[in-house]
Structure 1
Amino acid sequence: MAQTYIAFLRAVNVGGRTVRMERLRELFAELGLADVRTYIQSGNVFFTSEETDRAALTRRIEEHLAEALGFDVPTMVQTVEEVAEAVDADPFAGVEVTPDVRLCVVFLSEPLGAGYEFPVRSPKGDWEILGATEGAAFVVMHLRNGRLGSNPATALPKDYRGQGTSRFFHTTVKILAAARKA
């Protein structure tokens, strides 16, 4: 039975790496993936596949995108159910949202690993990781002078060997709703 996946692409439509969503849909379809759709310009691709080896699927996507686009596109592939579990866990319960606070989900290519005691705070106080699942870390960003000090994915521990890409929590909720639409 086909599984519905969400591919969260890093570094798409930032820093001069412009890719039209129509082109992304074509590239995913070229891989034989079905029901390919995109959501907003930040590189969120929904598709279905019979593939059960997620690591192999991710490698195929990343290799195809790099070849077609001429630059690496780290890709974090999650099932709709996994994203729903992250959203439903209400990871930011109790966090006071102010104009200087941003709630972010950093989608991970591999789990953070054992040994992290949450919350993990930056020395400068500009971010804190409240917790994590196997596929996502929940980061609170504190704006300084009205600006984010860094990309939320930089909040990952220095010894983390995987990749990450971030989405605001409210955007993640919208991505999930869009992915659930048939």
Structure 2
Amino acid sequence: MAQRVILIRAVNVGGAKLPMAELRELATDLGATDISTYIASGNLLCNPPGDPADFDRALEAAITDRYGYAREVISRSADDLAVALAEHPFEVVEPKYSYIYCLTGVPGSSAVAAFHKRDFGSDEFEVIGDNLHIRYEVGAGTSKLTAPVIAKGLGVQGTGRNLRTVEKLIELARH
């Protein structure tokens, strides 16, 4: 059975520390099985008990209770990520500059239209369903297309992973 890929927004950056061993422990405590993590940026793979959305909300609450900060948990199946990868609308010049930014929901069409009118220099983006596809010209670190700008502009939170990481998460989830 393919695992769920669970992405946690903005951990292990700034002051939001979340050791991966402790994340695996939280998932175990919530009843998940076949648990692993990939790199220290909030990537959890597991088989959650019951409804995945319920597990996501329970994991959010457990992180808040244990660490005192709130972070969105967004999960996708390996197939969901594979479809998003296939739909990536930009030429991939450098995989580390191309991202799939998984959103907590589908942004409204008026928010998307307004967001497209904004100037983000040479960075390109396209909303497809509940994913924002981005190709950064020179990397995410110098872009004006930041997580707070995306959340405010589209009206939904999200978390991004570069295409290399997405490919690896799909591979690990399909083991």
User: Which structure is richer in relative contact order (CA contacts within 8 A, separation 6 or more)?
Assistant: 2
For the residue of structure 1 that corresponds to 2:142, the secondary structure is coil
Q: Tell me, which stretches of 5 or more residues in structure 2 are unaligned? A: none
* Change in 2 beyond 3 A, CA 1:114/1:3: farther
Is 2:16 the counterpart of 1:17?
Answer: yes
Answer yes or no: is the 8 Å Cα contact 1:130–1:140 preserved in 2.
Answer: no
Is 2:150 the counterpart of 1:156?
Answer: yes
For the residue of structure 2 that corresponds to 1:142, the secondary structure is coil
> What TM-score, normalized to structure 2?
0.83
- Identify the match of residue 108 of structure 1 among 80, 103, 107: 103
Q: Tell me, which stretches of 5 or more residues in structure 1 are unaligned? A: none
CA distance in 1: counterparts of 2:92 and 2:168, whole angstroms: 21
- Identify the match of residue 141 of structure 1 among 126, 132, 136: 136
Between Structure 1 and Structure 2, the one with more strand by share is: 1
> What TM-score, normalized to structure 1?
0.80
- Identify the match of residue 169 of structure 1 among 142, 163, 167: 163
Match of 1:123 in 2: 119
* Change in 2 beyond 3 A, CA 1:53/1:170: closer
Answer yes or no: is the 8 Å Cα contact 1:5–1:79 preserved in 2.
Answer: yes
Answer yes or no: is the 8 Å Cα contact 2:120–2:145 preserved in 1.
Answer: no
CA RMSD, 1 decimal: 2.9
Identity %: 25
Between Structure 1 and Structure 2, the one with more helix by share is: 2
For these two proteins, the number of residue pairs brought into alignment is 174
